[in-house]
């Protein structure tokens, strides 16, 4: 009779699993807590303590015994089987373990070192690692229980491949657990992540960069890139995934910024549309009507949007699909888009967007886009690979609050200007620095990104706006850092800009303030150490 060893901290559903094993002819062994739980539910089980003797050190050394590990590590050979019989031990064929919630304990506010140590599993780690080495049926995650039962009922098809996958999963969970402990005790001096490949890309940024893939941290984040579902078009590329991540930063910053300012702006926008290229927005808009918002985002830069990416926080209907392809293009032609991302596509919309020759436009959905709030910002630590290692920093999650004393106002800043400055900030602070961003009436007019000097970013933003046929008179501007000279504000004022949001910290701050006052330009400033918006440096 095959033997299953069960030792779990989360008991929910373990009784159902144990009953199924019994019905399949298995014998159940369990650690004391699990054994009591199953016994109370009239499930026949043997307590491990009967095999290894009375627990010692407050049940910390129960499964850490040679009897248990001999049963897990014994090979399927006559010699090993004979030795087990001689010692009166049984081979253990399946081990089902979930570990103490160490990561959750570490993430809790106010935790102590003692509580972390108390929640550091040793026996469970040893059981999983030994079971993996012994190539047993290793269940390291509750979701694998039903999969294993179905496999057993089916007669164990492709046993070697199936067990290998369970072993890999168990070893990865053990490694991640140990990394969490090392990260905590070293205060971040030791770090790392366990990732799994979830999507294959044809190649990386360029065709000669192969192989390429999307790797997942399995965070259960509804907005994680691996949670986005492809609904149509050719295979998503490495660059597509990078663009989704970049525009998701912009989208969540817009949503969070307006969520934070609901007390100041009574008519916080419901709909957000972003159009972009190479990770930077070339068009964006907010508003109440989805049609109008989409059209304003497209109008932002009709030249740059060609072959670009569109991300929306509202569903794509048949009508919106037609707007995406035919609005403001010559009669008889259709707009070329690379990726469209939205919470949902109706079947009619998918049919329209997929009729282009070759069906190359990728359609990607994620329902979580429809309910974004300030809680939607990604606050996980960001890593960047550099030769020989990684750079590590907190994520881009700062949102300036115009209702707070931290944002200083000079001149009469209207609510309408603040609304545009908030949108300009969310776009500019998620575009490659140095950036200057121009917005008017809830619409992006020009985004001057990736420049090596501040006035150059101003001139580029103005040029992009004017090249697209937009008037910048009365518009608002965000600069992702301070102005080192008045040449930037002068270029903006000469183009009719009436409100500027920038950081302070330049030796020329007073000159900038005086210049803006003389030209009637409202100025908002936040300390550069608190609010500088460099991104993707």
Q: What's the angle, vertex CA 207, arms to CA 205 and CA 210, rounded to 5?
A: 80
Rounded to 5°, the CA angle 171-177-179 comes to 100
The answer to which of 127-131, 186-190, 352-356 has the lowest mean pLDDT is 352-356
pLDDT, averaged across the chain: 92
pLDDT tens string 185-220: 899 999 999 999 999 999 999 999 999 999 999 888
Extended beta strands in 99-253, E state: 137-139, 196-201, 212-216, 229-232
Number of helices (H) and strands (E), helices first, in the chain? 19, 21
Rounded CA-CA distance 411/476 in Å is 14
Per-residue pLDDT at 65: 77
Is residue 515 scored above 80 in pLDDT? Answer: yes
Mean pLDDT of 388-393: 94
- HEC profile of 231-275: EECCCCCHHHHHHHHHHHHHHHHHHHHHHHCCCCCCCCCCEEEEE
Per-residue pLDDT, averaged over 341-356, amounts to: 92
CATH of domain 404-531: 3.40.140.20
- CATH 3.40.50.1380 range(s) for the chain read 3-185
**Over the stretch 237-277, which tens digit does the pLDDT of each residue have?**
999 999 999 999 999 999 999 999 988 887 666 899 999 99
Tell me how crowded residue 374 is: count the other CB atoms within 10 A of its CB.
Answer: 16
Asked whether the predicted pLDDT for residue 137 surpasses 70, the reply is yes
507 vs 140: CA distance, rounded Å: 58
Q: How far apart are the first and last CA of the chain?
A: 62
- pLDDT tens per residue across span 414-451: 999 999 999 999 999 999 999 999 999 999 999 999 99
pTM of the model: 0.90
Cβ–Cβ < 8 Å for 116, 104: no
Residue 57 has pLDDT above 60, yes or no: no
- What's residue 119's pLDDT? 77
Residue 367 and residue 372: Cα distance in Å, rounded? 10
Q: What percent of the chain has pLDDT over 70?
A: 96
State what percent of residues in the chain have pLDDT above 90: 79
pLDDT at 312: 98
Q: What pLDDT score does 60 carry?
A: 57
The pLDDT tens digits of the residues spanning 94-124 come to 999 998 787 778 877 667 788 887 777 888 9
Whether the predicted pLDDT of 74 surpasses 60? yes
Whether the link from the prior residue into 35 is cis, omega within 30° of 0, is: no
Q: CATH 3.40.140.20 occupies which residues in the chain?
A: 231-376, 404-531
- 3-185: CATH class: alpha beta
CATH 1.10.10.10 is the classification of domain 231-376: no
């Amino acid at each position: 009779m095959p033997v299953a060893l069960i030792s779990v901290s989360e008991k929910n559903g373990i009784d159902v699993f144990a009953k199924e094993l019994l019905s399949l002819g298995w014998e159940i062994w369990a650690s004391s807590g699990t054994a009591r739980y199953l016994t109370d539910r009239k499930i026949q089980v043997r307590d491990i303590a009967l095999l290894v003797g009375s627990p010692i050190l407050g049940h910390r050394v129960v499964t850490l015994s040679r009897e248990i590990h001999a049963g897990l590590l014994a090979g399927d050979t006559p010699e090993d089987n004979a030795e087990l019989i001689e010692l009166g031990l049984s081979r253990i064929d399946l081990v089902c373990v979930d570990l103490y919630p160490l990561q959750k304990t570490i993430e809790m506010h106010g935790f102590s070192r003692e509580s972390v140590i108390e929640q550091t599993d040793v026996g469970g780690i040893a059981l999983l690692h030994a079971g993996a080495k012994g190539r047993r049926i290793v269940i390291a995650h509750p979701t694998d229980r039903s999969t294993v039962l179905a496999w057993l009922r089916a007669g164990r098809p492709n046993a070697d491949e199936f067990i290998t996958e369970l072993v890999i999963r168990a070893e990865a969970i053990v490694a991640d657990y140990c990394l969490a402990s090392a990260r905590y005790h070293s205060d971040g001096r030791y770090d790392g992540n366990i990732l799994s490949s979830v999507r294959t890309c044809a190649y990386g940024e360029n065709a000669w960069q192969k192989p390429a893939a999307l790797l997942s941290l399995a965070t259960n984040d509804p907005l994680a890139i691996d949670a986005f579902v492809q609904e149509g078009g050719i295979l998503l590329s490495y660059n597509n995934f990078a663009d989704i991540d970049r525009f998701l930063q912009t989208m969540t910053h817009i949503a969070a910024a307006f969520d934070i300012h609901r007390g100041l702006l009574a008519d916080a926008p419901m709909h957000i549309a972003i159009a972009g290229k190479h990770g930077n927005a070339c068009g964006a808009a907010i508003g109440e009507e989805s049609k109008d918002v989409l059209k304003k985002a497209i109008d932002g830069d009709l030249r740059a949007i060609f072959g670009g990416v569109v991300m929306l926080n509202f569903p794509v209907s048949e009508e919106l699909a037609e707007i995406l392809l035919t609005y403001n293009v010559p009669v008889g032609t259709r707009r070329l888009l690379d990726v469209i991302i939205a919470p949902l596509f109706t079947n009619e919309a998918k049919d329209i967007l997929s009729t282009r020759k070759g069906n190359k436009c990728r359609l990607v959905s994620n329902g979580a886009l429809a309910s974004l709030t300030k809680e939607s910002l990604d606050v996980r630590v960001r890593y960047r690979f550099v030769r020989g290692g990684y750079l590590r920093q907190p994520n881009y999650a700062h949102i300036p609050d115009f209702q707070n004393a931290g944002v200083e106002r000079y001149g009469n800043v209207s609510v309408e200007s603040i609304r545009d400055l908030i949108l300009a900030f969310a776009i500019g602070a998620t575009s490659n620095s140095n950036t200057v961003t121009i917005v008017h009436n809830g619409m992006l007019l020009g985004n001057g990104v990736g420049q090596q000097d501040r006035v150059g970013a101003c001139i580029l933003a103005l040029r992009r706006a004017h090249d697209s046929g937009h008037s910048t008179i009365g518009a608002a501007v965000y600069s992702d850092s301070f102005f080192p000279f008045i040449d930037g504000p002068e270029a903006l004022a000469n183009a009719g800009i009436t409100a500027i949001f920038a950081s302070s910290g330049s030796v020329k701050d007073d000159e900038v303030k005086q210049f803006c006052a003389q030209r009637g330009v409202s100025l908002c400033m936040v300390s550069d150490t608190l609010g500088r918006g460099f991104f993707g440096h």
